[in-house]
Amino acid sequence: MPEPLAECAGVTRRFGRLTVVDGVDLAVGPGEVVGLLGANGAGKTTLIRMLLGLLPVSGGSVRLFGRPPSRAARRRIGYVPQGLGLYEDLTVAENLAFSRAVFAGSVSASSATPATGVPRPLRRYAGICVRDLPLGVARRAAFTQALEHAPELLLLDEPTSGVDPLGRARLWETIGETVAAGAGAIVTTHAMEEAGECSRLVVLASGRVVAEGTVAEIVGRARTAVVRSGDWAAALRRLEAAGVRALLSGQTLRVPDRAAADVARALAGLPVQVGEEPATLEERFFGLVAAKVPG
Amino acid sequence: MTGWGADAVSVRFGSRLALDLVTVTAVPGQVTAVVGADGAGKTTLLRCLAGALAPSAGAVRRPPARRIGYLPSGTGVYVDLSVTENLTFRSVTYGIPASAARRHIGDYLERTGLDAAADRLAGQLSGGMLRKLGVVAAMLPEPKLLVLDEPTTGVDPVSRADLWWLIARAAAGGAAVLMSTTYTDEAARAARVLVLDSGRTLAEGTPAEIVAAIPGTIAVLPGPPATAEERRLAWRRAGAWRLWQPPPVSLPAAAPSAAALSAVSSPAAAPSAVSSPAAPLQAASSPADSASAPPSPAVSWPAAPSSAAPSAAVSSPAVSSPVGAGPPGRRSELVTPDLQDAVCVAALRRELDAAGPFGALGVGDA
């Protein structure tokens, strides 16, 4: 197995008495996209900041390219923060020129872009201030900036939020090409649609890893009870009274982590059909996280 | 049509057309989702429905202001008031009797986990908690029309489940819910969906109708797109590549393409399913969709340059090379599309339509 590009071993971070990241093990190797999934406050951003060396660990160790995080290691990382990391009052061309100056010396000679140019998909926006760009284009520019120095490791924090499905697919094409060329990537996301793009997922809850694997491995055999009824509202109210929370999906109700028989019992007397279907990743996620968060 | 909604609404901000003849209906007891990227016009449309913006053209049907619950795109609450203070203030302004208000507030807070933060300032809540508070506040007056602007964006899946429970509860109570979202999987939970792109309707109908109205078929490629044609019509999804295979068209000059496509086309790809690319993927409620489709769609796809220069080198994408067949030995599998595929196809069609054969190949940009 090739050496991991980034590795966390028992990483812990405390803020005062609050433990935000609690004994996390994580590794990403060349050609891998690891998705970090977690509720708000699960510790995703703190973990990313420790990986970047922006925040010291309270316990455990972080290694980047086999060594502790350093400025030199950061040169080999492409980072797209949630806020994109572009200067809003500079144009696309100016932003790219600035980041090239910052990374001067480490920009790979094989980079397809001439030193002063703007790559083709962005060329028509070259002279436009970032604040005036449509979000999809701004994200594209942030990706371009983060990838220009041919990084070996990508750290992407919610890279496609607010982008339409086709635009998102295009951004994932870029991630996919970079990874196919031998880089590794760590991606945080809330969008379950995006989880399928990752080669492996790590689910965090309250700072701990609660599940790890492919989407299929994480969902496993989890089932969801599905209620079909001409009057879903009545079924919803009945379930609510029984303390069971159902999720509306079109005209059907889905009840994660409940057996069809239990749900049918709660709905006795109503004209409903209750079946079971494999859980979605999102539904499995509720179970994983709810088990972890007290109350 | 019953319910509240917008009929052929257009909104102009200066020279910019933010909404272009958009129609949407919010039916009591149902959730209608408006899905689109940032900047697609979702907020503008919802503001019209909530009565916060007068459209430049078209009509809006909405209940009196008192019976509208509205979560705007900001926080929708006072950040310097506590959770309870916000809700109490809201009930007073809507004239809700104090006892009823207390009962509702207590119930909502408990069921959404906001009770633990009841005395916290709204400005100190996490993103998910803040959105829950905003939705609860909008629901307090038991509105007939509940307008929610991106209640779940940036919200983690657990809070999103709470929000969906609130939304379902409002609909179960008889409210017509109109919500916007950037997530297609979330829109698929709604009874009806409107897909917006650059202020225009890309598709409208129930999720099933929108999916059924996809012209042609969708396949999974065995590997990355191998030809320029494939690259134009493919997108990445779940680590694989999906390819839109436009329906074979009955264009005389295009006869050979039908044979080339036959390897992967399906019976669903009947020419009658073709509609003009300029027209939205409008799912008709009647099955006789073909009747409403333009009579000669084939020639207009894609629009401008192909009709001017119908040469063999620059033919329409549906007509040229064996789409989906790729190099010999490659075989693509047809998939059952979902709403996300439908939205991607609609966006692809618009893109191809806007660019024409030259632009889509990037020639104009070179």
What is the per-residue pLDDT for B329?
54
Q: What is the average pLDDT across B227-241?
A: 89
Q: What pLDDT does residue A222 have?
A: 92
Taking residues A41-66, report their average pLDDT.
91
Q: Is the pLDDT of residue A161 over 90?
A: no
Residue B54 pLDDT? 96
Q: Residue range B204-224: average pLDDT?
A: 93
Residue B73: the pLDDT is 87
Most confident of A118-122, A146-150, B279-283: A146-150
Q: What is the C-alpha radius of gyration for chain B, rounded to an integer number of angstroms?
A: 24
Distance from CA of B206 to the nearest CA of A (A): 9
As a three-state string, the secondary structure of chain A is: CCCCCEEEEEEEEEECCEEEEEEEEEEECCCCEEEEEECCCCCHHHHHHHHCCCCCCCEEEEEECCECCCHHHHCCEEEECCCCCCCCCCEHHHHHHHHHHHCCCCCCCCCCCCCCCCCHHHHCCCCCEHHHCCHHHHHHHHHHHHHCCCCCEEEEECCCCCCCHHHHHHHHHHHHHHHHCCCEEEEEECCHHHHCCCCEEEEEECCEEEEEECHHHHHCCCEEEEEEECCHHHHHHHHHHCCCCCEEECCEEEEECCCHHHHHHHCCCCCEEEEEEECCHHHHHHHHHHHHCCC
Residue B128 with chain A: CB contacts under 8 Å: 39-40
Residue type, A195: A
* Spatial CA neighbour of A176 closest among B229, B347, B241, B331: B241
Does B16 touch chain A if contact means CB atoms closer than 8 Å?
Answer: no
Burial of A106 (0-12, 13-18, 19+ CB in 10 A): middle
Q: Which of A11-15, A117-121, B79-83 has the lowest mean pLDDT?
A: A117-121
**Inter-chain residue contact B236 with A169, CB threshold 8 Å:** yes
- Which residues are paired to B61 by β-bridges? B5
- Beta carbons of B224 and B67 less than 8 angstroms apart: no
In this prediction, residue B214 carries a pLDDT of 93
Q: Which residues of A touch B164 (CB under 8 A)?
A: 247-248
Percent of chain A with pLDDT over 70: 94
Q: How many C-beta atoms surround the C-beta of residue A234 within 10 A?
A: 15
Distance (Å, whole) CA B290 – CA B275: 8
Instruction: Look at residue A294 and tell me whether its pLDDT is greater than 80.
Output: no
Q: Looking at residue B317, what is its pLDDT?
A: 42
Q: Which residues of A touch B161 (CB under 8 A)?
A: 245, 247, 286
- Whether B357 shows a pLDDT value over 90: the answer reads no
**How confident is the model at residue B365, as a pLDDT?**
39
Give mean pLDDT, residues B128-144: 93
Mean pLDDT, residues A40-51 = 86
CA nearest to B32, candidates B41, B20, B24: B24
Average pLDDT value over all residues in chain B: 79
Residue of B188, B239, B365 lying closest to A123 (CB–CB)? B365
Judge if pTM exceeds 0.90: no
pLDDT in tens, B286-327: 443 333 333 333 333 333 333 333 333 333 444 334 444 444
Asked if B223 is an interface residue toward chain A (Cβ–Cβ < 8 A), one would say no
Residues of B in contact with A251 (CB under 8 A): 191
Distance between CA B235 and CA B244 in Å, rounded?
9
Q: State whether A164 and B172 contact (CB < 8 Å).
A: no
**Half-sphere exposure at residue B228, Cβ-oriented, CA atoms within 13 angstroms:** 13
CA-CA distance, B134 to B131, in Å (whole number)? 5
Q: Please give the average per-residue pLDDT across A8-28, as a whole number.
A: 95
Q: Which residue among B169, B197, B237 places its CB closest to the CB of A169?
A: B237
Is a pLDDT exceeding 70 seen at residue B347? Answer: yes
Give A121's contacts in chain B (Cβ within 8 Å): 362, 365
Task: Round to whole Å and give the CA distance between A102 and A111.
Answer: 16
Query: On the CB side of A102, how many CA atoms lie within 13 Å of its CA?
Result: 16
Cβ-nearest to A164 among B113, B185, B197: B197
- Using 50, 70 and 90 to split pLDDT, how confident is the model at B356? low
Cα gap B102→B91, rounded to integer Å: 9
Task: State CA A121 to chain mean position distance.
Answer: 25
Tokens of A211: 């599940």
Phi-psi map region of B199: left, alpha, beta (phi>0 left; psi -120 to 50 alpha):
left
Amino acid sitting at position B167:
I
pLDDT for res B181 = 92
Please give the pLDDT value at position A292. 55
For chain A, what percent of residues have pLDDT higher than 90?
Answer: 55
Structure tokens at B62: 């909405």
- Any idea what DSSP says for residue B178? E
Average pLDDT over residues B153-157: 80
When pLDDT is averaged across residues A178-199 and rounded to a whole number, the result is 89
Distance CA B215, CA A109 (A): 45
Q: What are the pLDDT digits (tens) for B261-293?
A: 333 334 443 344 334 444 455 444 444 333 333
Min Cα–Cα distance to chain A from B139, Å: 17
Span B135-153, mean pLDDT?
Answer: 94
Sheet (strand A77-80) strand order: A77-80, A153-157, A184-189, A33-38, A200-205, A208-213
- With contact defined as beta carbons under 8 Å apart, do A5 and A64 qualify? yes
pLDDT higher than threshold 50 for residue B194 = yes
ipTM of the assembly? 0.84
DSSP state of A159: T
Of the partner residues B158, B206, B348, the one whose CB lies closest to the CB of residue A289: B158
| The two three-digit tokens of residue B312, written as one number | 């063999």
A166: nearest CA in chain B?
B344
Are A164 and B343 spatial neighbours (Cβ–Cβ below 8 Å)?
yes
Render pLDDT for B60-117 as a digit per residue (tens, 0 to 9). Answer: 999 999 999 999 988 889 999 999 999 999 999 999 999 989 998 998 898 888 999 9
pLDDT, tens digit, 9 for 90 and up, residues A220-245: 999 999 999 988 999 999 998 898 88
